[in-house]
Amino acid sequence: MKALVTGAAGFIGSTLATALVDRGAEVVGIDCFTDYYAREIKESNLAALRERSSYRFVDARLQDVDFGPLLDGVTHVFHLAAQAGVRGSWGDQFLSYTSNNVDATQRLLEALKGHPLTRLVYASSSSVYGDVATIPMQETAYLQPLSPYGVTKLAAEHLCHLYCVNHGVPTVSLRYFTVYGPRQRPDMGFHRFIRAALTGEPITLFGDGEQTRDFTFVDDIVAATIAAGERGRPGGIYNIGGGSRVTINQVLAMIARVTGRPLDIRRLPAEKGDMRDTFADSSRAQADLGFSPSHSLEDGLKAECQWLAALLGRPLTA
């Protein structure tokens, strides 16, 4: 396998690239260090990878990179580059979402027309569902995203399907359900909650805390993504969920237990764009990809707590 990983300096992309190199693949990573969060965090995600002889990193934007040399000999593309984040996708910021999520994907797909490729795996999102799909969510559900972010993720998913049907690009879309674990983005819930617990700062919680999420540990996401690259059905779409549906209030109680620190929770009204509930029916991924999440929420949460505690130099007391 010679893999191109887009978004390779990010949370999931850097974890995926490391797993691919560990499995003996040759990997080219591309990332342009968007300013959504600090470049130094992304550089530290990349640090160990840069030492590996089978890894090469390219600092460039998908919107203007020369794909010719980048795709030379590439058998698999894992397309994770995106402007992430639901809440920031309203207003002027939307331009960043259309540019990085839609335009960049279309340009990558154009470049892949006629390129001999085993698979392109696209990192889609549970955000494409919105609040109308029944729980557990099935891939065939009616899609009505609640956020502008979800609209752009769905648009790119449709583009992948179009280029598969019309130009034979063997795309597979994976709808990731809330991903957590070491290297999680600093804007995401678990990261914010654990950091606040460790530093004793107040936690801002949007909504009543009774909203539910299907949290998926990053190593399970990586395993599903690699499996989709090997045997996903071209043109196929798969939910990838962790299999545990819990409320945010339950998560906060678990974080207090794992960190051994009480939480100071400040409640604010729910934000526009936030879905009420998510829960994946991952049976299609189980049947076609052999996907089965292998990390419990408690173990995964401990792994993220240990990573963040080490990063902040604040040992866990529990």
Ligand X SMILES: NC(=O)c1ccc[n+]([C@@H]2O[C@H](COP(=O)([O-])OP(=O)(O)OC[C@H]3O[C@@H](n4cnc5c(N)ncnc54)[C@H](O)[C@@H]3O)[C@@H](O)[C@H]2O)c1
Which residues contribute to the site for ligand X (CB under 6 A)? 7, 9-13, 30-34, 36, 42, 61-63, 80-84, 100, 104, 123, 125, 153, 176, 178-179, 185
CB-wise, 106 or 259, nearer to ligand X? Answer: 106
Report the b/e string of 205-243 with b at 16+ CB within 10 A.
bbeeeebbbbbbbbbbbbbbbbbbbeebebbbbbbbbbb
On the question of a cis peptide bond just before residue 315, with omega within 30 degrees of 0, the verdict is no
Neighbours of 253 (CB within 10 A): 14
Q: How far is the CB of 63 from ligand X (least distance, A)?
A: 6
Task: List Cβ neighbours of 19 (8 Å cut-off, separation of 6 or more).
Answer: 219, 222, 223, 226
For the bound state, the minimum distance from the C-beta of residue 318 to ligand X, rounded and expressed in Å, comes to 25
Could you tell me the smallest distance in angstroms from the CB atom of residue 221 to ligand X? 8
Minimal distance in Å, beta carbon 36 to ligand X?
A: 6
Closer to ligand X at the Cβ: 261 or 284?
284
Active-site choice (36, 37, 129, 149): 149
3-state secondary structure of 64: coil
Which residue type, as a one-letter code, is found at position 170?
Answer: P
The amino acid that residue 61 corresponds to is R
In the bound state with ligand X, the residue whose beta carbon lies nearer, of 33 and 90, is 33
Are 243 and 278 in contact, with CB atoms under 8 Å apart?
Answer: no
Which residue lies nearer to ligand X by CB, 127 or 259? 127
Q: Which residue has the tokens 């526009």?
A: 272
Quote the least distance from Cβ 16 to ligand X, whole Å: 9
| Residue number with the smallest Cβ distance to ligand X | 10
Which residue has 């957590």 as its token pair? Answer: 180
First vs last Cα of the chain: how many Å apart? 43
Minimum distance of ligand X from residue 153's CB (angstroms): 6
Q: Assess contact for 133 and 143: CB atoms under 8 A.
A: yes
149 is catalytic: yes
> In whole angstroms, what is the distance from residue 63 CA to residue 99 CA?
8
Compare residues 225 and 259 and give the one whose CB is closer to ligand X: 225
| Residue with Cβ nearer ligand X (215 or 261) | 215
The three-state secondary structure class of 45 is helix
Beta-bridged to residue 119, according to DSSP, are: 76
Alpha-carbon gap, residue 305 to 311, rounded angstroms: 10
Nearer to ligand X, 173 or 259 (CB): 173
| Residue 31 · residue 47 · CB < 8 Å | no
Q: Please, what is the minimum distance in Å from the beta carbon of residue 34 to ligand X?
A: 4
Integer Cα distance of 103 and 115 in angstroms: 19
Per-residue tokens: 86:
């639901």
Residues labelled catalytic:
149
